[in-house]
Amino acid sequence: MTPGLFSDRPRSTASSEQFSELLCRPGLRIERIVSTGQCSPPDFWYDQEEGEWVAVLQGEARLRFADEDHDRHLKAGDWLDIAPHRPHRVTWTAPDQTTIWLAVFYTV
């Protein structure tokens, strides 16, 4: 039996998010990320080789792109498609609730 996206989730800690690889195939990787108040370190930007489609399944988060001057506030059901090498960072996740992300990494 395959576990559900909301069940059997690892507990994140104040210092780190929890990442679970759900599926990995050539050119494709799907992860569940559990956050409880974590964000990217100051002045850190993700700059990934692959594209990333990301959705917030539960909770809230704010994401910032280096080429934009404002955060994007994501709530449950919101999603983004992030092009390869588009620098971005997580500026906030809700500290008082669990935020569950579904991230699909793909080769373009």
The per-residue pLDDT for range 3-33, each reduced to its tens digit, is 678 776 555 555 688 899 999 999 999 999 9
- In the chain, the number of structural domains is 1
In a domain, 12, yes or no: no
Provide the pLDDT for residue 17: 86
Q: What are phi and psi of 105, to 5 degrees?
A: -100, 135
Residue 10, domain member (yes or no):
no
Which stretch of 14-18, 41-45, 100-104 has the lowest confidence by average pLDDT? 14-18
Domain that holds residue 52: 18-106
Domain for residue 26, yes or no? yes
pLDDT on residue 26? 97
**95 within some domain:** yes
Is 87 part of any domain?
Answer: yes
- Report the C-alpha gap between 79 and 89 in whole angstroms: 15
> Is 5 inside any structural domain?
no
Give the E-state strand segments of the chain in sequence order: 18-25, 28-35, 51-58, 60-65, 72-75, 79-82, 88-93, 99-106
Is 6 among the domain residues? no
Q: Over the chain, what is the mean pLDDT? A: 91
State the pTM of this model. Answer: 0.88
Backbone angle region of 42, left / alpha / beta, with phi > 0 → left and psi within -120 to 50 → alpha: beta
Q: Please report, for the domain that includes residue 68, its CATH number.
A: 2.60.120.10
Judge whether 9 lies within some domain.
no
Predicted local distance difference test score (pLDDT) of residue 51: 98
